[in-house]
Amino acid sequence: SQQGEEDPQALSIQEGENATMNCSYKTSINNLQWYRQNSGRGLVHLILIRSNEREKHSGRLRVTLDTSKKSSSLLITASRAADTASYFCATDHGGSQGNLIFGKGTKLSVKP
Amino acid sequence: SQTIHQWPATLVQPVGSPLSLECTVEGTSNPNLYWYRQAAGRGLQLLFYSVGIGQISSEVPQNLSASRPQDRQFILSSKKLLLSDSGFYLCAWSKQIYNEQFFGPGTRLTVL
């Protein structure tokens, strides 16, 4: 079945650096979403980008979507130690169900 | 504003015992409701979703079941737990399909 796959699986950077995470999927979608999960907690929605959008910003977050390559990227600029978390992309089926399929996530560690 | 509650937060159960996890949503009506399971270091696996009272769709055949006795109440159950049922269970809601999902704090289940 269709699945978003994040890359890399783990990323370690210094505070102040930018962090880029990528997501690839297999079939057409209506939208792609990014979520954040702190250890042992529920997921928090970050941003939703629709299939007819190419780029979206929210604060220090920048998301791009390339439907021709079936890929998306999440950029966190000027990272902070508090950004340490796992980040997941989620795609829908592209049909009428609308249920989300989550990837395995990228574990981001930002060192002070 | 909308809030989502899950309980208990943690649970340790012996193999073969029953299970009941409860999720309730406040501040909205007729939400779509979801149960996910997250194994350690893995992505989310959708278990059940519901678009209305008494309407349950199962994504993964297993010894778990779900019920929606009220509009904003979603219950995950099992008659006999297996070791493989251990994991982090997350409840989520969304207003419409394709929209962002809002997650509860999760229940950590350990089956011994």
Distance between alpha carbon B52 and the CA centroid of its chain, in Å? 15
Q: Residue B42 class from Cβ within 10 Å (0-12 exposed, 13-18 middle, 19+ buried)?
A: middle
Distance separating alpha carbons of residues B96 and A40, to the nearest angstrom: 27
The average pLDDT across B15-42 equals 93
A12-55 pLDDT, tens digit per residue, is 999 999 999 999 998 888 899 999 999 989 999 999 999 999 99
pLDDT at residue A2 tops 70: no
Distance between alpha carbon A112 and the CA centroid of its chain, in Å? 23
pLDDT band at B92 (very low <50, low <70, confident <90, very high): very high
Give the pLDDT score at B13.
97
Q: Quick one: tokens of A59? A: 């604060």
Query: Is A80 part of the contact surface with chain B (CB cutoff 8 Å)?
Result: no
Give the pLDDT score at B60.
78
Distance separating alpha carbons of residues A49 and B97, to the nearest angstrom: 14
Give the pLDDT score at A103.
87
- Tell me chain A's radius of gyration from C-alpha atoms: 13
The answer to whether the Cβ–Cβ distance between A42 and B44 falls below 8 Å is no
Best CA proximity match to B42, nearest among A86, A84, A31, A90: A86
Query: Is A31 part of the contact surface with chain B (CB cutoff 8 Å)?
Result: yes
- Cα torsion B34, B38, A95, B94: sign: positive
The average pLDDT across B34-63 equals 87
Residues of A in contact with B97 (CB under 8 A): 92, 96-99
Question: Strand A85-92 and strand A61-66: pairing?
Answer: unpaired
Q: Which residue type, as a one-letter code, is found at position B93?
A: W
User: Smallest CA–CA separation between B60 and chain A, in Å?
Assistant: 13
Place of tokens 């508090």: A82
Distance separating alpha carbons of residues A52 and A67, to the nearest angstrom: 9
Give the pLDDT score at A6.
83
Distance separating alpha carbons of residues A20 and A34, to the nearest angstrom: 13
